[in-house]
């Protein structure tokens, strides 16, 4: 199991994401770095922890604006394997900017045909994120939003998806803990690479995720507020 740091970018700066309430997001304040510049933060994550992989959520693009391609390129240049959720931004542009894996979030996904066509073109460079809030999947597609997370995980696996993320937006930024019952069910339903995010509190949560066979954990708040030190998470660094 590996820890993957997250940088949420809004209006060109890193922000503290809490419960998916984007109108309330504020520039990130971190013990690691005195600035909210996402490139500077990524540099500190590399120098302080030597992470090999990073997840960037381009909220400007997810919310319908253009992607922050300049920021994406500069974060890539720091030396990470780069996962990016930029909504429905041009995938060719993202790959040309150094993105290694494109995240298709259910929050913006127009339907499973879109996933199917993306897989046919880009293969395992695509990951699908089950974006959940209040126990329901978020999606403009009625077919997706009406499904349960476990049922959709099974369906995606049958379609050939090999990389799956479960993101509980209601828990993001709260350190409220994880729904391990649901995560166990999702792990059983999806035998591919499975990453989770939202609500991670401390080192004990990583231990439990590892024991459940989860492949990776997206982490932001517990890193930026100093809860997690290099020594504590060294075994989980990717």
- Residue 60 falls in the annotated catalytic set: no
- Which one of 60, 131, 205, 215 is the catalytic residue? 131
Residue ranges in 99-168 assigned as alpha helix (H):
112-122, 142-145, 149-159
Contact 172, 165 (CB under 8 A): no
- Structure tokens that stand for 202 in this block: 């401390």
Cα 131 to Cα 167: distance, rounded to the nearest angstrom: 5
The SS3 of residue 110 is coil
Helices 149-159 and 112-122, axial angle in degrees (round to 10): 40
- Structure tokens that stand for 205 in this block: 């949560």
Cα 42 to Cα 46: distance, rounded to the nearest angstrom: 6
- Residue 131 falls in the annotated catalytic set: yes
Please compute, for residue 87, the number of CA atoms within 13 A of its CA located in the half-sphere on the CB side. Answer: 16
Contact 4, 55 (CB under 8 A): yes
Tell me how far apart the terminal alpha carbons of the chain are, to the nearest angstrom: 9
- Which one of 8, 168, 179, 215 is the catalytic residue? 8
Non-local (6+) Cβ contacts of 150 within 8 A are: 182, 185, 186, 189
Catalytic residue IDs: 8, 131
């Amino acid at each position: 199991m590996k820890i993957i740091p997250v940088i949420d970018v809004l209006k060109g700066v890193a922000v503290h994401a809490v419960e998916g309430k984007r109108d309330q997001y504020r520039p990130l304040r971190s013990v690691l770095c005195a600035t909210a510049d996402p490139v500077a933060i990524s540099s500190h994550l590399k120098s302080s922890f030597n992470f090999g992989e990073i997840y960037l959520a381009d909220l400007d693009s997810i919310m319908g604006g253009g992607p922050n391609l300049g920021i994406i390129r500069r974060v890539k240049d720091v030396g990470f394997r780069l996962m990016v959720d930029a909504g429905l931004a041009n995938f060719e542009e993202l790959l040309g900017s150094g993105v290694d894996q494109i995240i298709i979030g259910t929050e913006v996904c127009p339907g499973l045909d879109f996933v199917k066509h993306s897989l046919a073109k880009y293969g395992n460079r695509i990951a699908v994120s089950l974006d959940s809030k209040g126990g329901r999947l978020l999606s403009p597609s009625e077919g997706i939003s009406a499904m349960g997370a476990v049922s959709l995980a099974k369906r995606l696996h049958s379609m050939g998806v090999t990389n799956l993320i479960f993101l509980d937006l209601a828990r993001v930024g709260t350190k409220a803990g994880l729904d391990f019952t649901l995560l166990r069910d999702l792990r059983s339903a999806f035998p591919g690479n499975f990453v989770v995010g939202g609500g991670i509190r401390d080192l004990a949560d990583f231990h439990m995720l590892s024991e459940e066979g989860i492949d990776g954990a997206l982490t932001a708040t517990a890193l930026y507020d100093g809860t997690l030190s290099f020594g504590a998470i060294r075994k989980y660094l990717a």
